[in-house]
Structures are given as structure tokens and as C-alpha cells.
Amino acid sequence: MTVRTTAGSTLRITNVAPASFDATGYAAIFPNTPTSANPFVGEITNLGEFGREYAEVTHNPIGTRATRKFKGSYNEGQLNLELGLDTDDAGQIMAKAALMSDLDYYFQVKTQNGDSYYFPAKVMSFKVNLGSVDQITTASVTLGISSAANGVGVVETLAA
């Protein structure tokens, strides 16, 4: 195992659902070469964090006074993207379109070593930050990661 920086990582977006919510299904909608149907989201400066988190369910039987803990429902989380605003970027344009839709869009995060993370998500916000005279015009985008109807959320495919 080798740790690495995030430099060189990418995010792609599409409104085309995979035939199956597994590595094969997602690889089919995100071929190696991007197209207008699955472009990169450009100018990302921070991809943020994501991952499954379970609700804690507790049980306190009076006979033992001990708190027992269980896993309840889970949430795949959200991705809070920070990016330089580029109104001509195909991926940013698609993300703005996704904001106006109630449907899932589909995403691939690919790290510099070739690991991929695929997931369905809804674009929950797309906010422009004009800032001050000495800063780049930026935007923040929130992706609410969903789970497919069969319960599959983030699909991880590790590079060989």
C-alpha cells in the first residue's frame, strides 16, 4: 500500500444510468475516453470526502444498565466540491442541469493511481462565490450520494 496525493484525480458526470450497479455497469458508461455524455467536471480544487455512515441504535436493558449499540440505517454521505467557476466547462454545465432535476446523475471519481469510485447522486446545490478583487470566482457543489434500489451505494474498483 502506498499513500499518495489527490493531485491528478478526476470527477466525471453523466445522466445515463448504468445497466447494473456494479463495476461492469459503471465502466460501460464511463469509458476511458470522456465524451459529451460523460465529461470531466473541470477546475475542481477540493473533492471533499464521502463514505457510508450508519445511524447508531441503542438499547438499554434495565437489568444490566449497559448500553448496547447496533447499526441502523446508513447514509452514503455527500460530496462537497469546491471548484473554479468555468461557465464553458461541459461537466459544470451538466452539474447545473442536474441541479434542476429530481433524478440521480451518475459519477466517477478516479484517483491518480487508477482507483475508481462510482455512485449515483443528486446535485443538491450549485453556489457561485464571487469573493473579493484578489480571488478567483469559485463555486461549491453538493452531491447527495444515493443508493440504487437494490441498496448498492458507492462502488469501489481498485487498480491492479
Please, which pLDDT band fits residue 1 given cuts at 50, 70 and 90? low
Verdict on whether the full-model pTM lies above 0.85: yes
Report helix, strand or coil for 93. Answer: helix
Q: For 51-69, how does the pLDDT look when each residue is reduced to its tens digit (9 = 90+)?
A: 999 999 999 999 999 999 9
Q: Which long-range contacts (CB under 8 A, 24 or more apart) does 70-73 make?
A: none
By C-alpha distance, which of 116, 95, 1 is closest to 40?
95
Q: What is the pLDDT of residues 67-106, one digit of tens each?
A: 999 999 999 999 999 999 999 999 999 999 999 999 999 9
**Which of 126, 68, 89, 102 lies closest to 12, judged by CA?**
89
Beta strands in 18-157 (DSSP E): 44-46, 53-59, 68-75, 78-84, 105-110, 116-129, 138-145, 155-157
